[in-house]
Structure 1
Amino acid sequence: MAINYSKLFNRRATPQSQAIPGSGQVRNSAGGYSWEVTDWQRLDRFLILGAEGGTYYIGERDLVKQNHDAIIRCIKENGARVVDRIVEISDSGRAPKNDPAIFALALVTTHGDVAAKTKAFANLSKVCRIGTHLFHFAGYVNAMRGWGRGLRNAVGNWYNAQEPRELALQAIKYQQRDGWSHGDLLRLAHPKEVSREHAAIFRWMLSGQDELGERTVKRKVNCAERTATYAAVGELPALIQAFEQAKAAKGKGEILKLITESNLPREAVPTEWLNDAEVWDALLQKMPMTAMIRNLGKMTSVGLLKPMSAAAKLVVAKLSDQTALKRARVHPMAVLIAEKIYAQGRGDKGSLSWSPVQPIIDALDEAFYATFSNVEPCGKPVLLALDVSGSMGMAKIAGSCLSAREASAAMSLITAATEPDYVIVGFSAAANGHGGQWGGGEPGITPVNISPKMRLAEVVKEIEKIPMGGTDCALPMVWARRQKVNVSGFVTYTDSETWAGNIHPSQALRNYRDQFAADAKAVVVGMTSNDFTIADPKDRGMLDVVGFDTTAPAVIADFIRSD
């Protein structure tokens, strides 16, 4: 019997369990074949998505190790470029969490050349903007290297570069994290104070905090601990004095006066007063945006936020201030998580519960859209394809309570809210490829009845109705060709762990182009920080972007719109 060579070497329709001949594809974690992203692409994925929690196929430790190795290769190639990218993504608030950027910066200070290390130290304050960030950085570098002069100077400059009022706020708001205190860092860095006020704050950090028992863990460092003493000059800022008075306050009136007159943050208020609605009302008046979003459940549980209350109206007004949202670097995922938790009326941890106030839920929903960069519609028909396979249900975005499945649906709503002509579908494959979802019905495609007018809880319910199956990222293109749907852009939200189909996504796209639209484009929105993409790097009509990057929707629209 003659061999049918076209079945063995077919560049137009290759099963995903095999590599496209001559393509350079690699085996992915699910057993299928995809393209390997470059180390620089992986750097972006890590900076925005992190590796917390791992994925369905890759454990957290292995995923961190893979990203760690890719980042080091980038540092060895061009450490200064790595620093620029870290600062760009961190300083603009494009990532849900800042920890990946801090970790990557610590890697540069360890593995970079002299120029790269110098640049990393010079940009420390742009990445580590608050005390908690600095403590995380100290923990990372302490595990990687010793405390040389460059590192000590960088940490010392972090303290001296801040105005006394801001430094005082850092001192009382972020007193200790991960076993590190400001006193620990001052002893290691031993900065020369730039003013009498700085000297007074340093002295308080070194002695006042320790004597008051704020530092409970003694951090061992891999170098000789240095002593730091500062002359008894300069008066403590009013904020620190108010903090000390609050700890000794006997009545609520004293606490309210200190909050109102000295603008004490929540962290400076003794715990026994944090179940009082009046205290929270005083805090709310000047509460920073991120702190307010994080404490909505608590303020509702103590009775401050109620329907038609002045406090609820103030919260809604603050959430509606788009300028303030952007200035505070509020990431859309932070709003999304807050909306999900607040609407369910209980925290994911602990026993705290409350009755949600509907206008606040509505305001959070509107704030979600406002936190993305301005998007100009592409004005062309777009198919938004959500990978609802099993692996997407297991992976968590940046270690949050949101699965990649839920997050991709939320991200698709940004494009849906912008574009006049779109359709949203969910896809997963039965074991037999395109034979149907669980043996019957549509070929792995389920139209998703969601719109930007729906709340997140409603969207999640619709997504949860779709059965999970294997991953076949070619299904959207195959379905569009079979249904004769005119599409200018396919936007696929996936982890690229595709394996179940009889044709690769890039091949299905070319077949669609041949039959319907020669200029049809495809955007792959990577929802995990793994090593794979279904976007053919040699196809100029395919693009790989990072999920939950605040600039992603604008990049997607611009790519589909452009010639």
Structure 2
Amino acid sequence: MLSASSDVCRIPTHLFQFIKYCQKVNPENKGWGRAHRKGVSMWYHNYKNKIDGIPLLAYHMTKYKSRFGFTHKDVFRLCHIKTSYDALGYLVNYFCPKEGQRDRENNWQSRLELARREEGFEQSELRKVIDRLQLYDDAKNCNDEEIMSDMILRYNPDLAREHVPSMLLNSAEVWKALIRHMPTTALIRNLGKISSLGLLESNTSTNTKSFEEVLVVDKLKSAQLRKSARIHPFTLLVALKAYSKGQCESGRLNWQVNPNISNALQEAFYLSFDYVATTGKRYLLAIDVSDSMNAHVMGTPIITARDAAAAMAMLTVRTEQNCDVVAFSGNRGNANTTNNEDQASVSDENVVAAMEMVTVRAEQDSDAVDYPGNPLPQHANVPNHRDLSTENTTLIPIPISPQDDLDEVLKKCSPSRLPPVTADCAAPLLDAIEKKKKYDVFVVYTDSEPNAGVIHLSEAIKRYRTVTGITDARLIVCQLASNGFSLTDPDDPLMMDIVGFDSGALAAMHQFVTGNI
């Protein structure tokens, strides 16, 4: 596992995150074992095999100095990294000098003097590392915005936003220089800051666009840049929602929303679907349509659970050949209720769908649930407090097509546009059992306030595997606004709980479905 650390942890942020996870898994262990020390040390040494080599490591180490409570100096001391008097050794000594070891410092000085006299020193990795570290020191000590802007333009792409002193990050001139060569992902993340400085505002008197506005729009619409940056549609959706608000969550930044930027983000969102890898699996998506889905998503509070579920349903329908979508209710007690106006607005198509919807009747005796196949016991953690012997659990199909945009999908998932829904989160699996429908993956999107139902969700997927013979059918439960209640069996490797939601969750889901995790 540690031998693959360089492939998995592409930048220091990932390495620090990995170390943090290792610490949580074994909190009582104060030191690192030999294999762990060697694996982390090799992460730094393996930069020698990359195209840009140790100078790239110098760039990454100065850009991502600390994350998750760790610095490079901490890591070097924990892994006991060993180096020679080369480019990597110079870099390690720069970040973690051996205080009190005068002999080592004297050796470094003498080695550098010898290296400078050698032929080819000007093109050596050591010289490039020395020059880069000097550049970063100069940037760190700069307090003039014009000099800083000139340095950014002159030494691009070696200077990133993280190398700029904090006091200069409020300068419009500095941001003008940064925008020109800023990676697309970083640009999207900083749209609010850039807009707050007035750089993306059009000249209303002359009806002309600023150079920065044109540049940003072009970058957002560039298919090549989006693909190379691996920008997921969910990331663009979050950026669109955040930018459209005109202020950040804390309220410290405010900006004038530029419709050209909003339109570019929206266009990029839909075009980015073309770069999402398909799995070739058969999907059943179950979306909670209860009122509590208006809660904000953990990890991405800018959007609601309903927005996230609709966006992910649209993504799956557009990228997978076989995908069905149904609605269930996570409300405890009664079904979704609507006022008279909402009831009157239900379309003829929805009435027909309601008449054709599946009704799963579950009858219960003392301690077993009877449905097609052998009886299965209730899950110990989900007691059934209601008599469900005469209660109907109804599923509503949601007819999402690959041509639907997000607004249309949100309308189709709106409780006011659907007939009353009384199905619990296990009903989609029970329906698939009864109708002998073939699915490889079940994905449940809920706010994590599930209706208890007649059978626990983890027991329903086990029954589905037994009845259909699809023994590797997988279950993913996305608890978008988790309350700490788990719906899956932690001992089953074919079940996954997602708590909260962000683009990282999507990557984990894809790896899980394809059997890579």
Partner of 1:358: 262
Change (3 A) 1:428 1:254: same
- Give the conservation status (yes or no) of the 8 Å contact 2:85–2:108: no
Q: Does 2:134 match 1:241? A: yes
The CA distance in 1 between the partners of 2:151 and 2:330, in whole Å, is 61
Deviation at 1:368, TM superposition (A): 4.7
Quick one: which of 252, 273, 289 aligns to 2:168?
A: 273
Q: 1-side partners of 2:82 and 2:323: how far apart?
A: 60
Q: Which residues of 2 match residues 83-482 of structure 1 at below 5 A?
A: 119-120=1-2, 122-142=3-23, 143-145=27-29, 146-162=31-47, 163-194=53-84, 196-207=86-97, 231-232=108-109, 233=112, 234-235=126-127, 236-263=129-156, 264-306=159-201, 308-354=209-255, 355-356=257-258, 357-366=261-270, 368-374=272-278, 385-389=286-290, 396=297, 401-417=302-318, 426-428=327-329, 436-438=335-337, 472-473=424-425
Deviations 1:370-404 (A, max 9, x none): 452147798xxx98542123665558355654454
AA partner of residue 444 (structure 2): Y
Task: Quote the RMSD (CA, aligned, Å).
Answer: 5.0
Partner SS, residue 252 of structure 2? coil
| Counterpart-to-counterpart distance in 2, 1:457 and 1:351 | 30
Work out the CA distance in 2 between the residues paired with 1:338 and 1:266. Answer: 19
SS in 2 for 1:123: helix
Equivalent residues of 2:146, 2:173 under 8 A apart: no
Whether the 8 Å contact between 1:277 and 1:304 is mirrored in structure 2 is yes
Question: Secondary structure of the residue that 2:287 maps to in structure 1?
Answer: strand
Alignment partners' CA distance in 2, 1:261 and 1:397? 41
Q: How does 1:513-528 map to 2 (within 5 A)?
A: 525-528=476-479
The secondary structure found in structure 2 opposite 1:527 is strand
Q: Could you tell me how far apart the structure 2 residues matched to 1:464 and 1:258 are?
A: 52
1:298–1:192 CA distance, 2 compared to 1 (3 A): same
Quote the Cα distance in structure 1 between the aligned partners of 2:281 and 2:224. 22
Larger Rg: 2
Deviations 1:168-201 (A, max 9, x none): 1122111223443222222333323256222222
Return closer, same or farther for 1:314/1:252 CA change in 2, 3 Å cut-off.
same
Equivalent pair of 2:168/2:174 in contact (CA under 8 Å): yes
Paired residue secondary structure (2:198)? coil
Q: Distance in 2 between matches of 1:397 and 1:368?
A: 24
2 CA distance for matches of 1:405 and 1:428?
A: 12
Partners of 1:397 and 1:527 within 8 A in 2: no
The equivalences for 1:15-30 within 5 A come to none
In 2, the alpha carbon distance for the partners of 1:151 and 1:507 equals: 40
Deviation sequence 1:235-282 (CA, Å, 0-9, x none): 443332222112333533321221122220001011222122332222
Deviates more, 1:416-425 or 1:238-247: 416-425
User: What is the deviation of 1:299?
Assistant: 1.4
> 5 Å matches for 1:71-90?
none
Of stretches 406-415 and 419-428 in structure 1, the one that deviates more from structure 2 is 419-428
Q: Secondary structure at the match of 2:96?
A: helix
- In structure 2, what is the Cα distance between the partners aligned to 1:475 and 1:291? 42
State the alpha-carbon separation in 2 of the partners of residues 338 and 228 from structure 1.
49
In the alignment, structure 2 segments of 5+ residues that lack a partner are 48-52, 113-125, 203-208, 344-353, 355-392, 465-469, 499-504
Q: Does the C-alpha gap of structure 1 residues 349 and 449 become closer, same or farther in structure 2, counting only changes over 3 Å?
A: farther
Aligned AA (2:141): A
Structure 2 CA distance for aligned equivalents of residues 341 and 353 of structure 1 = 11
Distance 1:457 1:262, change over 3 A: farther
Q: Is the 8 A contact 1:408 1:493 kept in 2?
A: no
Aligned residue type for 2:15: L
Between the aligned partners of 1:206 and 1:136, the Cα distance in structure 2 is: 20
**What does the per-residue CA deviation read over 1:401-450, in whole Å, with 9 as the maximum and x for residues that have no partner?**
445433221111123435899886643266667xx533996787678798
* TM-score, normalised via structure 1 length: 0.56
C-alpha contact (below 8 Å) 1:431/1:470 kept by paired residues: no
1:56 is aligned to none
C-alpha change, 1:153 and 1:418, in structure 2 (3 Å) is closer
Mapped partners of 1:198, 1:316: distance in 2: 40
Query: What residue number does 2:120 align with?
Result: none
Classify 1:325/1:144 alpha carbon distance in 2 versus 1 (closer, same or farther; 3 Å): farther
Secondary structure, in 3 states, of the residue corresponding to 1:549? helix
2:487 to 526, 532, 538: 532
Instruction: Name the % identity.
Output: 32
Offset from partner CA, 1:205-227 (integer Å, 9 cap, x none): 1259x9xxxxxxxxxxxxxxxx9
C-alpha deviation, 1:153, in angstroms: 2.2
CA distance in 1, matches of 2:475, 2:40: 40
- Give the deviation of 1:363 after TM superposition: 3.4
- CA displacement, residues 478-521 of structure 1 (integer Å, 9 cap, x when unaligned): 999xxxx9x9879653358754556889999x99xxxxxxx9xx
Name the SS for the 2:39 alignment partner. Answer: helix
Indicate which of 502, 506, 516 corresponds to 1:549: 506
Q: Conserved in 1, the CA contact under 8 Å of 2:243 and 2:262?
A: no
- Count of residue pairs brought into register by the alignment: 403
Distance in 2 (alpha carbons) for counterparts of 1:124 and 1:270? 31
CA contact (8 A) 1:345 1:353 kept: yes
TM-score after normalising by structure 2: 0.61
